[in-house]
Structure 1
């Protein structure tokens, strides 16, 4: 059966997360339903990451196995037709080897987190950013983030229901960019690692927000990390500012057959 990689973009607000659920809408379920309109099912797809309820994606990657030998562009167009009007889009599709796997072949995940700083309610960016009412100072936040880069036991920054076998992860990069967004001043956090623990990004961003607000010092973040205790974590940021922005593979599956 031909296997295809799908690059997926979605707005997370209407969904209970990526993973298919029996009684709630999911992104996985929406795509599998669309696939069933093209070929008889059942269809079961896999993704590079299982995003939580309310989390968005601009670069999620999934795989599907088909009976027919589809042209990748035609497959993406057909799926997009059947996904309407849901806020899910297949932005690229590519034929891949039968042993390629969206999750297990990945060597990197990249997340973006958007934080809007303004008092008036967000309108155009409502549901797409975490909004705080005060200005945050990015300089101490960057100093705090530096303590988190590298190989660490991230027990403090993982959900209590995380199912990962080990809390030890290598965080390759955290950058914090201050810019003038469409709705006002924003901070954009970019995090990169081979893999992440459940709620790790939201726990880190929520803790760094406390530093930017002056409630924590950068050294407090180092102390929290070294505590290896979930109780030492700062507040967990809400999901609406988080985006799965990209997934890296040894060879990009979309460079040759990608639909554009």
Structure 2
């Protein structure tokens, strides 16, 4: 068994990293950093920057993120992808252990990893993130420690100076995929949408909705848009595509609310 810390690092701003997270990074012996493909080097660079600013001295091993198979049904596709990511973690830890043993006569019962392992997780490891589900696939199971981080929803509402909920009102947090298939929920004034690659808000027939949208939240590249949904939809879609082309990637989220409820 080994120690594995899943460390929330916020939304790309090193100032989002808590003192608890910085302490855990300094205690780690090994940090795993994903490489997410061509054009997304920024994501690995930001993790390295956070390690440097935390004063971490851990061994760092990078690994390549597998690609999801688009031919599979969605849940099968994601479950197989998680299996493959867990396999990449195991392979990365094995490489680290081999490097630690190189030239050193260690006993047969020496740990399979060189010490506490850490993963830097965008946002928070327990909110709209699958890192915990991937960690559950490891064998032997690690001793898990989860360190919370600032989420995209917090960064979005703070950037817009907007309360997350209305007075005595509920908020539904959902995905673009579910919003597309289920539409606006009947019992909510507010809907926060995560993981929407298709701009599903443009398909809503619900009248009198306002939107607060943000991309690269908390980063120097942060972009914000807000207003009545019909008035700003085209601007958001155009801005989104230009930003993706410029950076090679985009992380964005938005909150929709019935007009007059804020």
Please, what TM-score do these two structures have when normalized by structure 1?
0.29
Higher share in strand: 1
Higher share in helix: 2
Larger-gyration structure (1/2): 2
